[in-house]
Amino acid sequence: MNVIGLGTDLVEVKRIEAFAQKPGALERVFSPEEIAYCLARKNKYQHLAVRFAAKEAVYKALPFDGVAFKNIQVTNLESGRPQVRVQDARCGGLVILITLSHTEAYAAATAVVQR
């Protein structure tokens, strides 16, 4: 497989916490499943922030523009390992690898796109 894209992003958790207070903000960016997963966690804003960073990283790594953040969905396997799905026909044949990390103040993600 050939690497065709690399993206990384760093987000301040407090920025996402402030964003989440705006009516309808989460629903514009996150899927219902992502929202439910994050809000059920003790450190919900860290989880929201790391998923936001993941969406940014994937967006930067894709070899085309025009994918809505809501169409980039971050989930976890039973093992806890993160995975990403992009709802866009142009992603056929692409493999997207993602890694996530967060602290109390920051969340980071890196995405690699392969063909």
CA distance 43 to 41: 5
Tens digit of each residue's pLDDT (9 = 90 or more) over 42-85 = 999 999 999 999 999 999 999 999 999 999 999 999 999 999 99
- Residue among 62, 28, 30 at smallest CA distance from 44: 30
Please tell me whether the overall predicted TM-score, pTM, comes out greater than 0.85 for this model: yes
Task: Take residue 87 and report the two structure tokens written for it.
Answer: 């709802």
DSSP 66: -
* CATH number of the domain residue 24 falls in: 3.90.470.20
Cα–Cα distance list, 84 to 3, 13, 29 (Å) = 16, 21, 15
Range of the domain at 62: 3-114
Assess contact for 63 and 114: CB atoms under 8 A. no
Cα–Cα distance list, 74 to 1, 42, 62, 85, 88 (Å) = 22, 18, 15, 7, 14
What's the structural domain count of the chain? Answer: 1
Tens digit of each residue's pLDDT (9 = 90 or more) over 82-114 = 999 999 999 998 999 999 999 999 999 999 999
Distance of CA 83 to the CA centre of its chain: 9
Neighbours of 36 (CB within 10 A): 10
Question: Does 1 score more than 90 pLDDT?
Answer: no
